[in-house]
Amino acid sequence: MIPQSHFLILSAVIFSIGIFGVLTRRNVIGILMSIELILNAANINLITFNKFLGTPDGLGQVFALFVIAIAAASAVVGLALVIAVYRNSKSILINKINLMKW
């Protein structure tokens, strides 16, 4: 079947693309999307190791479920913050948001 390293390489590629997105995007929502990519890469890794190491209680899959829940919570809070900031400063570009700078 497909070797373990190929799943890991796929995960590394998605992770790097997510890092690139976090660094280059100016839109806060774009940064949130890139963070979702990074979390997905982590999930692929967890499930890969769960399959190939064969843990008896499925720790990898349980942790992947927790990661999905945390991702949902972070997206909800992040988007609420985006909407609150947009209402104040009429912009969601990160170089325009200097509300907490002195």
Partner 1 sequence: MSGLMQLLSSHGIPQILIIKGAFYSIAALVCLFAILVVASPNIFHSAIYLAAVLIGVACVYLFLDAEFLAVVQVLIYVGAILTLLIFAIMLTADIRSKTPRQTLRRILISAFAALAALYAFINIIHKNPWRSAVTPPATAFSLAQLGKSLMLNYILPFEIISLVVLAALVGAIAIAKTERR
List, in order, residues 6 or more apart from 29 with CB less than 8 Å away.
Answer: 79, 82, 92
Does residue 86 touch partner 1 according to CB under 8 A?
yes
CB of 100 to partner 1, least distance (A): 15
Does residue 94 touch partner 1 according to CB under 8 A?
no
Pattern 9-48, binding to partner 1, x per CB under 8 A? xx-xxxxxxxxxx-xxxxx-xx-xxx-xx--x--xx--xx
Instruction: Name the β-bridge partners of 27.
Output: 93
Spatial separation of the C-alpha atoms in residues 30 and 22, rounded to whole Å:
8
Rg (CA), the chain: 17
The helices-and-strands tally (H runs, E runs) of the chain is 3, 0
- Contact residues for partner 1, defined by CB under 8 A: 1-10, 12-21, 23-27, 29-30, 32-34, 36-37, 40, 43-44, 47-48, 50-54, 57-59, 61-62, 64-66, 68-77, 79-84, 86-87, 92-93
